[in-house]
Amino acid sequence: MVEQRGEQSIEALSEKLERLIAAVERLSPAAPPAPDFNAADCFVWQAERQMLQPVQKVNRVEIGLIHGVDRVRDILADNTLRFAQDLPANNVLLWGARGMGKSSLVKAVHADVNRHKAEGKGTDEKARGAALKLVEIHREDIETLPQLMALLKSASYRFILFCDDLSFDHDDTSYKSLKAALDGGVEGRPANVIFYATSNRRHLLPRDMIENERSTAINPSEAVEEKVSLSDRFGLWLGFHKCSQEEYLAMIDGYVRHYGLEADAGALRADALEWATTRGSRSGRVAWQFIQDLAGRLGKRLEE
């Protein structure tokens, strides 16, 4: 009798334990769905949900409309094409003047490489393989880069991880996560992943932060080296500088031809220069803002 009551007690306890486990599982967040890389060529990493959000319509311009950066354009395009063909390629830091098309160039080169692959250009099967994927990670999510890389490394695609306007401020230690993810970890960067970043700072850190490290550290050179070495993880540094007046006007002319905007050449030049003067700078961004204003005045939609 005692033995029977003991067995019933164990069964009751087991049943309660199973109910408790089931209740906890219901409270736990659902596992994120496996990414469908066929859904799009571009994705945005949503760190909180640990998932990739497909982007059907990417905000970008044609590569032929990006003027004044011909040399860095060709270098980036060549590096990206080699990576897409499963050949050695470098992480890239695009740094320099604001509004000169750093992020636009990354997106345009990605589209151009995929267009070449789709058209079957290339000498072997790898050159005509699956589309290259672009994954954007926000600056504030850099610490989740290892999780994102773990998600991508087993996929059959090749990925450009892209972080726009990357920089680090005082007391920000997330740059260490980036260093380890790019080259310094035990596993290193997955073979099917490359990292592109844009920044206004060549070393990704404010100058006064570097100078402060140099002046207060016991060993100044080592303290500075720890922070500056982050940019050394990028094999290519592509500098963007303020454009000349002629380069700025060439951007304007390219947009005018592309969108079929009808305007007197002399008046167009004068208006474009006045626009740049009122803005206090000449850049690709300023040129595009002028074109938007011009198209609005002409009653013309800027559609592809």
Q: What is the pLDDT of residues 125-162, one digit of tens each?
A: 554 556 899 999 998 898 898 889 989 988 999 999 99
Cα distances (angstroms) measured from residue 2 to each of 16, 46, 198: 21, 58, 74
Distance CA 91, CA 141 (A): 18
Q: Identify the band that residue 214 occupies on the pLDDT scale cut at 50, 70 and 90.
A: very low
Positive or negative: CA dihedral 40, 45, 46, 47: positive
Q: What pLDDT score does 186 carry?
A: 65
pLDDT tens-digit map of 19-67? 777 666 666 555 556 788 999 999 999 989 889 999 989 988 889 888 8
Give the amino acid at 120: G
Beta carbons within 8 Å of 207's beta carbon, 6+ residues apart: none
User: Once rounded to an integer, what is the mean pLDDT over residues 86-92?
Assistant: 93
Question: So what's the pLDDT on residue 226?
Answer: 56
- Separation CA 133–CA 69 (nearest Å): 24
> How far is the C-alpha of 95 from the C-alpha of 92, rounded, in Å?
10
For the record, the structure tokens of 62 come out as 């044609």
User: 0.75 exceeded by the pTM?
Assistant: yes
